[in-house]
Amino acid sequence: MECLKADLVAEAERLGFAAIGVTSARTDPAVAGRLDQWLAEGMHGEMAWMAERAHQRCGPEALWPEARSVIALGMSYAPEGDPLSLAGEPDRGRISVYAQGADYHDTVKKALKQVARWLVEQAGKRGLGEAGVKVFVDTAPVMEKPLGQAAGLGWQGKHTNLVSRRHGSWLFLGAIYTTLDLPVDVAGRDHCGTCDACQRACPTNAFPAPYRLDARRCVSYLTIEHKGPVAEEFRAALGNRIYGCDDCLAVCPWNGFAAAARANRAFLPRAELAAPKLAELLALDDAGFRRLFSGSPIKRIGRDRLVRNVLYAAGNSGDTRLLPAVTRLLDDADAAVADAASWALARLQAGA
């Protein structure tokens, strides 16, 4: 099995994965307990699927009893530039680094399937019997971050995301569950120390304590998952962030060791998404939205939610040139868009 694992790591690296490790499929009671507490406190907000499948999410064998090992993999999307560079350009929308290129689900899952097929073939060739495999990328009840830590890819930092000493905070995570008993790696150790940069960087105070995230206050949750109007207490804090937020990730000192992910061109930012103009985004109808965000993970939230977010950014911009575009949306068919337009109009007029 040691030889198979060594060859597995080499094959995964060949297919573009920067971090690979193996852990047991057994449920970790501590991880399951933290999930139960987080859900009990309602910190998942409107993400009902987190609670509905918690009994499967608590551990790999709960989802697939035949699983014996979990191969945790990470694909780097480390940016070349400063993810926070647009903070001082209020006429532009800030899109999280991970969503500026092609949809990572497609890229990562394709590579995972190739690794899984290789593993099945090699198990057969080496007389290890038939290997069962299942691949997961962010769309099933799988806790990729705790599994990544258990497999030695890194550790869950104080911002709750996985941090790698080699790749910083910029890893797309995937998992392969298998019926093979593969040698496991040493779990990742916490190297956050006394640093609290991520906690201080959060614009909405979404961390009630280190290593705990209240999704209901998180900019990524508010701009992506939250339906309807965003509570007024958060709107100014959104700034010009229109899809996701990189602040807590970008300030992590460990990113100084992360090399830009030039190898995977799929993750390079599309020119039209790297620094989009608010004025152009405010003019989007449904067809225009679909054209612009074809092949992007942003397409999932739909035109209405995106334009709602852009209106909050417009209201925060102080740019009165946006007044005509904002005014046109006061009677939008979507109630949240119309509400956001009213708020933005009032903000812009107050600053005029």
Q: What is the pLDDT of residues 25-81, one digit of tens each?
A: 999 999 999 999 999 999 999 999 899 888 889 899 999 999 999 999 999 999 988
Asked if residue 352 has pLDDT above 60, the reply is: no
pLDDT digits (tens, 9 = 90+) for 2-20: 889 999 999 999 999 999 9
Catalytic residue among 138, 185, 319, 334: 138
Work out the pLDDT band at 128, boundaries 50, 70, 90.
confident
Q: Are residues 157 and 250 in the same domain?
A: no
Comparing 92-106, 222-236, 257-271, which segment has the lowest mean pLDDT? 257-271
Give the count of beta carbons closer than 10 Å to the beta carbon of residue 6. Answer: 11
Q: Is residue 90 part of a domain?
A: no
Q: How many domains does the chain have?
A: 2
Closest CA to 137 of 95, 165, 185, 171: 171
Residue 109 burial (10 A CB sphere; 0-12, 13-18, 19+): middle
DSSP 88-115: G-TTB-EE-GGGSSS-HHHHHHHHHHHH
Q: How far apart are CA 321 and CA 129, in angstroms?
A: 67
Residues 80-89: tens digit of each pLDDT: 889 999 999 9
Output the pLDDT for position 331: 97
pLDDT bin (cut points 50, 70, 90) of residue 193 is very high
| Residue/partner pairs of 30-37 with CB below 8 Å, 24 or more apart | 31/58, 31/59, 31/143, 31/146, 32/58, 32/59, 35/143
For the stretch 141-145, contacts whose Cβ atoms lie closer than 8 Å and that sit 24 or more positions apart, written own/partner, are 141/49, 141/53, 141/54, 141/56, 141/57, 141/63, 142/57, 142/60, 142/63, 142/175, 143/31, 143/35, 143/57, 144/72, 144/173, 144/174, 144/175, 145/173
Domain boundary among the residues 122, 151, 178 is at 178
Q: Higher-confidence residue: 1 or 58?
A: 58
- The answer to whether the CB of 5 falls within 8 A of the CB of 22 is yes
- The domain in which residue 225 lies consists of 197-351
Same structural domain, 170 and 229: no
34 and 170 share one domain: yes
206 with 142, same domain? no
Cα Rg of the chain, angstroms: 21
Q: Does the residue 134 lie in any domain?
A: yes
Domain ends where: 178, 209, 235?
178
Same domain (yes/no): 168, 303: no
Reading phi first (left if > 0) and then psi (alpha if -120 to 50, else beta), residue 261 is in: beta
Q: Would you mind telling me the total number of residues written for the chain in this entry?
A: 352
Which pLDDT band holds residue 259 (cuts at 50, 70, 90)? confident
Cα separation, 266 vs 150, whole angstroms: 28
Residue 84 lies in a domain: no
CA distance 176 to 63: 13
Judge contact between 162 and 117, C-beta under 8 A: no
Determine the pLDDT at residue 286: 97
Residue 88's pLDDT is what? Answer: 93
Q: Using an 8 Å Cβ cutoff, are 166 and 18 in contact?
A: yes
CATH number at residue 234: 1.25.10.10
Query: Is 189 within a domain?
Result: no
- Strands 94-95 and 162-163: what pairing? unpaired
DSSP letter (8 states) at residue 217: G
Q: Is residue 227 part of a domain?
A: yes
Claim to verify: residue 159 and residue 34 sit in the same structural domain:
yes
Question: Does 246 lie in the same domain as 315?
Answer: yes
pLDDT at 261 over 70: no
Q: Is residue 70 part of a domain?
A: yes
pLDDT score of 312 more than 60:
yes
Contact 73, 19 (CB under 8 A): yes
Q: Residue type for 97, please? A: V
Residue with tokens 């109009």: 345
**Helix 335-351 and helix 302-317, axial crossing angle in degrees, nearest 10:** 10
Last residue of a domain, one of 178, 210, 240: 178
Q: Is there a single domain that holds both residue 136 and residue 226? A: no
pLDDT for position 256: 84
What digits encode the pLDDT tens for the residues 316-342? 999 999 999 999 999 999 999 999 999
- Does 50 map to a domain? yes
Is 337 in contact with 289 (CB distance < 8 Å)?
A: no
Both 155 and 226 in one domain: the answer is no
The answer to whether 114 and 108 are in contact (CB under 8 A) is no
Q: Give the mean pLDDT of 194-223.
A: 97
Average pLDDT in the chain: 94
pLDDT at 150: 98
Residues 174, 135 share a domain: yes
User: Beta 171-178 vs 162-163: how paired, if at all?
Assistant: unpaired
pLDDT per residue over 62-76, tens digit each? 999 999 999 999 999
Q: How confident is the model at residue 190 (pLDDT cuts 50, 70, 90)?
A: very high
The pLDDT score that the predictor gives to residue 64 is 95
Question: Cβ–Cβ contacts within 10 Å for residue 318, how many?
Answer: 14
pLDDT in tens, 274-297: 999 999 999 999 999 999 999 999
**Is the residue at 87 inside a domain?**
no
Categorise residue 82: left if φ over 0, alpha if ψ from -120 to 50, beta otherwise. beta
User: What pLDDT shows up at residue 216?
Assistant: 97
Rounded to 5°, angle at Cα 14 from 162 and 268: 60
> Above 80 in pLDDT, residue 260?
no
In a shared domain, residues 48 and 141: yes
Hey, what amino acid is at 306? L
Domain shared by 203 and 162, yes or no: no
Query: How far is residue 208's CA from residue 59's CA, in Å, rounded to a whole number?
Result: 25
User: Is position 106 annotated as part of the catalytic site?
Assistant: no
Strands across the sheet with 69-76, in order? 19-24, 69-76, 171-178, 133-136
Tokens of 105: 């689900």
